[in-house]
Structure 1
Amino acid sequence: MLDTVNKAATAAPTALQLDAKRSLYYPKQPGVIFPDIPSFDTVEEERQHRKERLVAACRAFDQHGFDYGFAGHLTVRDPEHPELYWTNPMCVHFSQVKVSNLILADHQGRVVEGDYAINRAGFVLHAAVHEAHPDIMAMCHAHTVYGTAFASLGRPLDPISQDAAAFFEDHIVIKDEAGQVALEEKAGLAVCDWFKDVKAAIHQNHGLLTASRHSIESAAFWFIALERCCRQQLLVEATGIKPTLVSPDRSRYSRDHVGSEYIGWLHFQTIWSQLSKTQPDMFE
């Protein structure tokens, strides 16, 4: 089916060639085992890689209890056709998503490859962001307990910890279309403009969204981390005691060193390692 797509499409964006050695976590000792950002000889290899990691992200969302009926959608661009993106199928539980049941869709919501329907709300939000921001490779959204609860407050996270500081000045609160089911395309257009230069958004009365210019792995990990930070802040606020915040300069230092796209990708490697060994049906 892919070969029926317009061959005149512009070249697809590739993963950022981030210099891993700029990370404080990159080993100084040579010869030790450490994850490497992959490279590919063919576009088919890269497509398979992205699809497998998309499936792993869905399985990780299952492990974290992010399911809520058919709600929740994860997307990653096709490496050859940037106007198309792979996503999880409608009404298939995160735990049952596999390479063979992923669907490929265009920015108009038409399924180009695959047997399942597309999630209308997922199309409205994700397609608008992907189309408006060609640099964004992947996005994640789910209706989580703590993220949805925190989103009702309509305010950003406070830097109460190093984990939360990873999102300092790198997430935004979106109030447009707050609380309204995103089924009309204008809702996606209202949201997409907010994703410039940030990796995450808190959509008031709705929930969390993350975006990555690097990989689906990074988008998925930072979604998991954002949900965790929302939970931590709600727990702290429930004590009634005002927390001590990390200072702005230290928050920026933490964000730069533990909140990057590369670090999100690196964190996900532990998730990938566990899932690929324990859930081989992902690759079916």
Structure 2
Amino acid sequence: MAPIALYEENAPVAQSTKSVAPAETKELTPLEALAHQENSKPLPKIPTFSTHAEKRQWQLEHMAGCFRVWAREGYAEGVSGHISVRDPEFEDRLWINPLGVHYGMMKASDMICINFITGQVVGGNTEVPANAAGVQIHSAAHRRRPDVHAVCHNHSIYGRAYSAFGKPLEMLNQDVCNFYNAHSVYEAYGGVALSGEEGENIAKALGNGKGCILMNHGLLTVGNTVDEASFLYMVLERSCKAQLLIEAAVAGGRVQKRPIGDEEAAYNFRWNSDPESLYYEMQSHLKYEEYLTGSDYKN
């Protein structure tokens, strides 16, 4: 193995005798700004594909991978929770997970394709039904938000606990700023979403945001990729946990909360919450899952 090259901190810098025109200042994208050096190898962006079939398979593999990560996060509970991805070829179709398959066992081939206009199963796994409530919630979100390609909903413990307040999160740390002016609260609870009306109410409450806290229910996030939506869900869940811990700490009256100001929160949102950066954020979790278990979830 070749030795690793090092740079001497105080080494002399060769001076050029040629006059060099000042370089134009390039405005970095949020993803480019993540890397320390501008001349380093570019961070991987959301890939593009030459065929719909290739993109479909890639989406389903990442969808299954996100479920595996969620299993390690402890989100699995019975038959609750779902992720959906819009089909890349047919804009009126979504892919969703089957009912009763544990997140830690999910594979790309398990997913079910449903026409979210008619509700009919049109492809994929036909051996196991989808979660009826999940179909209602996700179909409504995809119909109302054509810009959204993935929707995540779950009943994770801290999201459930915080949802009982029926309040939006405060900007109390850097990470929750991913949802600065970009999350809402569904301030009603209509029971298990077995009717189209409850799904529509949830989608309406989501509005144009990235996430929604469903009172007495759980959390919902959306994104341009399943990677983005899944990572945002993890951020929203942990933000609920942080807020609960902070609320408990201030309950005695000895300490006070010090929220982030609007200007700083907007700055954080600008640099941390774009689709490319959030996609990249999720890749380390997927790579760790593959490192631990291989890539059987891609089958």
TM (norm. structure 2) is 0.84
Question: Does 1:281 pair with 2:289?
Answer: no
d(CA) in 2 for partners of 1:20, 1:134 = 28
Aligned to 2:204: 193
Question: Does 1:148 pair with 2:160?
Answer: yes
Aligned to 1:135: 147
CA displacement at 1:60 relative to structure 2: 1.1
Say which is worse superposed, 260-269 or 32-41, in terms of deviation.
32-41
CA shift digits 1:128-170 (9 cap, x unpaired): 1101221110000111100000000000001111111221111
SS of aligned partner of 2:29:
helix
Segments of structure 1 that go 5 or more residues without pairing to the other structure are 1-18
Aligned to 2:279: 265
CA displacement at 1:264 relative to structure 2: 1.4
Distance 1:84 1:28, change over 3 A: same
| Equivalent residue letter for 1:244 | R
**2:263 aligns with one of 249, 252, 266:** 249
Residues 133 and 194 in structure 2, CA contact (< 8 A), matched pair in contact too: yes
Say which is worse superposed, 259-268 or 49-58, in terms of deviation.
259-268
Please provide the CA RMSD for this pair. Answer: 1.7
Residues 148 and 208 in structure 1, CA contact (< 8 A), matched pair in contact too: yes
Aligned to 1:182: 193
Aligned to 1:36: 45
Residues 133 and 193 in structure 2, CA contact (< 8 A), matched pair in contact too: yes
Residues 111 and 117 in structure 1, CA contact (< 8 A), matched pair in contact too: no
Aligned to 1:215: 225
| Equivalent residue letter for 2:75 | F
**1:95 aligns with one of 98, 104, 116:** 104
Distance 1:27 1:40, change over 3 A: farther
CA displacement at 1:20 relative to structure 2: 7.6
Superposition misfits of 4+ residues, deviation over 6 angstroms = none
CA displacement at 1:31 relative to structure 2: 4.8
CA displacement at 1:26 relative to structure 2: 4.7
Q: How many residue pairs end up in the alignment?
A: 264
Distance 1:40 1:232, change over 3 A: same
d(CA) in 1 for partners of 2:225, 2:28 = 15
d(CA) in 1 for partners of 2:219, 2:30 = 29
Larger radius of gyration: 2
Segments of structure 2 that go 5 or more residues without pairing to the other structure are 1-26
SS of aligned partner of 2:48:
coil
Percent pairwise identity: 30
TM (norm. structure 1) is 0.88
| Equivalent residue letter for 1:204 | M
| Equivalent residue letter for 1:234 | L
| Equivalent residue letter for 1:192 | A
Aligned to 2:5: none
